[in-house]
Amino acid sequence: MRPPAYQLLADELRADITSGRLQPGERLPPEPELCVKTGVSRSTVREALRLLASQHLIVTTRGVTGGSFVAHPDAEKLSEGLTTGFTMLTNSNGVGLADLLELRRALEVPAAGLAAVRRDEHQLLEIRGALFDPEIDDFDTKLAAHTAFHMAVAKATMNPLFELVARPLYHAKFGEDVTENLPAGYWEQIDADHRLLLDCLMIRDADGATLAAARHLDYLATAVR
């Protein structure tokens, strides 16, 4: 079955954007020009542009100087599509917590080493700001702080691809039995692991940071089942 005309136009423009033929900030041809060039109606062009905007590939503004412009890449926005697919996989029978931890190990251990070498003072402040009090009762607050900590470390690698790929990992949802059966002292150990990793980042100890990240994941593998 042939895709609708707006989908074909969106695919064509997406290819121009992702290939670099259209650069971030560059203005797309006006709607009338796209109509003439592609032979489709204005409503079809607008639907194609709405689709690209929903995928965070373009930004459309109004006014005399308005139009549709190629968006500047943003890891947080671009990861939304990955998060959707990741959530679907983690809720399937074929993917479990062990798979998640395996992927986290592949990303977080080298990321910790890179962050130790590349981080700046602002990023250290962001990482330190994600520390939490393990004595607080609110589970969601501690979980959000855990996510913020690891996202800040990924950001400190100065490689936006780490941030893009890592973001969906911390939004995976597993059954309540996973979070309800945490061992005694779980959050205290998580807090201690985070503080040790931060200490290594502060002194730019890449070897120590990678070791701290690996030991953190070793603990998670035994504590969360």
Q: What is the pLDDT of residues 81-113, one digit of tens each?
A: 666 667 677 666 677 778 888 989 999 999 999
Residues paired with residue 67 on neighbouring β-strands, in sequence order: 61
Residue 175 tokens, joined: 């059954």
**Spatial distance between the Cα atoms of 30 and 138, rounded to a whole number of angstroms:** 51
List, for residues 122-178, the tens digit of each pLDDT value: 999 999 999 999 998 888 899 899 999 999 999 999 998 888 888 888 776 554 445
Domain parsing of the chain, residue ranges: 5-70, 75-223
What single letter denotes the amino acid at residue 176?
E
**Sign (positive or negative) of CA dihedral 126, 150, 154, 119:** positive
Helices 121-129, 186-202: axis angle to 10 degrees equals: 170
Put simply, whether the predicted model's pTM sits higher than 0.85 gets the answer no
CATH number 1.10.10.10 given to 5-70? yes
The number of beta carbons lying within 10 Å of the beta carbon of residue 184 is 7
CA 213 to chain CA centroid, Å, is 19
Computed from CA positions of residues 78, 80, 81, 87, in that sequence, does the dihedral angle turn out positive or negative? positive
CATH (residue range 75-223): 1.20.120.530
Say if residue 52's pLDDT is above 70: yes
